[in-house]
Homo-oligomer: A and B are copies of this chain.
């Protein structure tokens, strides 16, 4: 929203979303109490809900905010010169090395687990974000295939699914163990896989 004119009400709304984002990302939907939200925003319950119809609307906007900031963090050092398999490797490295600004881990993983047996609005947000991420990776692979940079028969969807699944699962283990080693181990595996089974042999 930089440079755009926004009303004071819209500014307050955005400030509430940014303050609520780490609470929802760390403690989940049910675990985020109005008391915590009031403390984080410095507003009363009425002051918060003047801007949102319900907790679900606030949680959904907080999810989008957290996801957008995490996605942007993964774009660090991404430029036009890096393409194909090298770009996928850079995305993998950024996922592991670039700490997203909102604490609590990956919002897709958190919200997927939090909402897969419950809240359909949040589940839909997480699914949409997951698909956008997968499509981004698949697009990189499709362009690489068109330039003859991939081995024949490589399925972009399989590669994208494998990268996302492996990173998210390793993130869960790393966060549980408070240790980056699991992420490092899978990074090495994914890079080797991309070099030997995906990238065209020169």
Contact = CB atoms under 8 A, between A and B. Distances in A.
Contact of A30 (B28, B165, B168, B185): B28
Contacts of A149: none
Contact of A165 (B31, B110, B170): B170
A123 B172 CA distance: 12
A162 B185 contact: yes
B166 A165 contact: yes
Interface string A120-141: 0001001100100000000000
A1 to B, nearest CB: 28
A183 to B, nearest CB: 9
Interface SS, A side: helix
Chain A interface extent, by class: 35 or more
Contacts of A110: 113
B27 A27 contact: no
Contact of A169 (B26, B30, B165, B177): B165
Contacts of A113: 105, 109-110, 113-114, 172
**Chain B CB within 10 Å, residue with most, of A105, A169, A170, A177:** A169
A116 B175 contact: yes
> Shortest 4 CB-CB distances between A and B: which pairs?
A169-B169, A165-B169, A30-B31, A26-B117
A161 interface: yes
Contact of A161 (B28, B118, B170): B170
18 contacts: A28-B114, A29-B31, A30-B30, A31-B118, A105-B116, A110-B113, A113-B114, A127-B177, A157-B185, A162-B166, A164-B173, A165-B169, A165-B170, A166-B186, A167-B169, A168-B169, A168-B172, A169-B172
A29 B29 CA distance: 11
Nearest to A157: B185
